[in-house]
Amino acid sequence: MSEALDKWRVLVLHGPNLNLLGLREPNVYGRVTLEEINQRLGELAAQRQAALRIAQSNHEGALIDAIHDAREWAHGILINPGAYTHTSVALRDAISAVALPCVEVHLSNVHRREPFRHHSFITPVALGVIAGFGWRSYTLGLMALLDALDEQCASRS
Ligand code: DHK
C-alpha cells in the first residue's frame, strides 16, 4: 500500500463473527469469505486511488481503539459492526467522537430479519447504510464513501 500517493485513506472495520464468513450461515451471509471481500475492496480501492487499512475484531474495545486511531490518519470509515450494530452505544460514540465520514454496511437485509436487528445505534452517526446485497454491500459502501469524499473535496476547492 502506497498511502502517500493515494487520494483517500479509509479504515475498513469488520465486527464480530465476520471472520467466519463463508462458513457461517451461508444462506444468510453468503459463501464469500472475509479474505475475498477484502481482496475485492482492495481492487476497487486501487482503481479509485484509495488506500485501505482493514481490521476485523470480535471485541468491542478493539473496534473502538481502531476508530480512535483512525482519527490520526484516515479520511473515512467503512464499517460492518456485526451484532454491535444493535447493541453498542460505545461504538456509536466512538464514530461520533472522531467525526470521520462513515458508511455502515450489512451483508444481509437486516430489516427483513428478526425485529432486534431493525434498530441500529450506528445509523444516526453514519453518512448512510447499505444492506442486503451480500458482499456487494461492501463494494457499494466503499464507492459511496469515496464519492462522498470526492464531492466534499470538490465543494471545498
Ligand atoms: C452481520 C451480523 O453479524 C449480524 O449480527 C447483523 C450483519 C447483520 C450483516 O448482515 O452483515 O445483524
pLDDT greater than 60 at residue 1: no
pLDDT value of residue 3 = 63
Shortest-distance atom of ligand 1 to CA 117:
12
Summarize the confidence of residues 56-84 as an average pLDDT.
Answer: 98
On whether the CB atoms of residues 130 and 105 are closer than 8 A, the answer is yes
Grid cell at residue 77: 470509515
Mind listing the pLDDT tens digit for each residue in 103-144? 999 999 999 999 999 999 999 999 999 999 999 999 999 999
**Domains identified in the chain and CATH numbers:** 3-156 (3.40.50.9100)
Q: Which of 60, 78, 106 to mutate to test the pocket of ligand 1 (most atoms within 8 A of CB)?
A: 106
Check the CA dihedral 77-42-2-60 and report its sign: positive
On whether the CB atoms of residues 77 and 100 are closer than 8 A, the answer is yes
Q: How confident is the model at residue 64 (pLDDT cuts 50, 70, 90)?
A: very high
